């Protein structure tokens, strides 16, 4: 099964994270045969996906992938708390673009993708994808093909 969670990206991520955890909990209750959950959050959606972890109370194996996500914050006035400890049933992979090639982040003084989430895996994406510069928008395509 595949589901998409849409949310108002002009708001902070905490309420949408709670809503997504609740919605997925309902899906699991209605489909007890589901053995694992994979969440992919791109860009600002990666902040929402990481925030989801603190609201996730299900025991099912869960993996959160953040792709080109400004996990260090966006400077928009919203505060996001990163997990200090991952639950035993939750894994996290951070897929980071090369800042100089990512038009969303290339002018930032520090790479907003660089944070430490203990227990997470970090993968730096390559410079190119299908013969093109692998920047912010192409990053989700590369990850989708490689997970």
Does 107 map to a domain? Answer: yes
The 10s digit of each residue's pLDDT in 69-127 is: 999 988 777 777 889 899 999 999 999 999 999 999 999 999 999 999 999 999 999 99
**Do the beta carbons of residue 93 and residue 121 sit within 8 Å?**
yes
Does 9 map to a domain? Answer: no
Asked if the model's pLDDT at residue 61 lies above 90, the reply is yes
Contacts of 55 (CB under 8 A, 6+ apart): 17, 18, 20, 21, 22
Does 45 map to a domain? Answer: yes
Cα separation, 1 vs 34, in Å, equals 9
Does 8 map to a domain? Answer: no
Cα separation, 81 vs 53, in Å, equals 10
Does 13 map to a domain? Answer: no
| Total-model pTM | 0.94
Does 109 map to a domain? Answer: yes
Q: In sequence order, what DSSP letters do the residues of 37-91 get, joined into one string?
A: EEEEEETHHHHHHHHHGGG----SEEEEEEES--TT--SSS---PPPSS--TTEE
Does 27 map to a domain? Answer: no
Question: Across residues 56-81, what is the average pLDDT?
Answer: 90
**Do the beta carbons of residue 61 and residue 36 sit within 8 Å?**
yes
When the pLDDT of each residue in the chain is averaged and rounded to a whole number, the result is: 94
Domain count, the chain: 1
What per-residue confidence (pLDDT) applies to 81? 80
Question: Is 58 exposed, middle or buried, given 0-12, 13-18 or 19+ CB atoms closer than 10 A?
Answer: middle
Does 26 map to a domain? Answer: no
Cα separation, 4 vs 88, in Å, equals 25
- Domain hosting residue 118, numbered range: 32-146
């Amino acid at each position: 099964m595949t589901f998409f969670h849409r949310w108002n990206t002009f708001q902070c991520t905490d309420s949408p994270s709670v809503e997504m955890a609740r919605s997925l909990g309902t899906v699991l209750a209605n489909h007890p045969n589901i053995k694992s959950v994979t969440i992919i959050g791109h860009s600002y959606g990666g902040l929402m996906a990481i925030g989801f972890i603190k609201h996730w109370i299900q025991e099912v194996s869960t993996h959160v992938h953040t792709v080109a996500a400004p996990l260090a914050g966006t400077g928009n006035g919203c505060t996001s708390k990163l997990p200090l400890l991952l639950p035993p049933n939750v894994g996290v992979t951070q897929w980071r673009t090369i800042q100089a090639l990512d038009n969303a982040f290339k002018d930032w003084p520090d790479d907003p993708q660089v944070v430490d989430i203990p227990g997470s895996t970090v993968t730096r994406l390559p410079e190119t994808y299908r013969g093109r510069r692998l920047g912010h928008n192409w990053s989700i395509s590369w990850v989708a093909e490689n997970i």
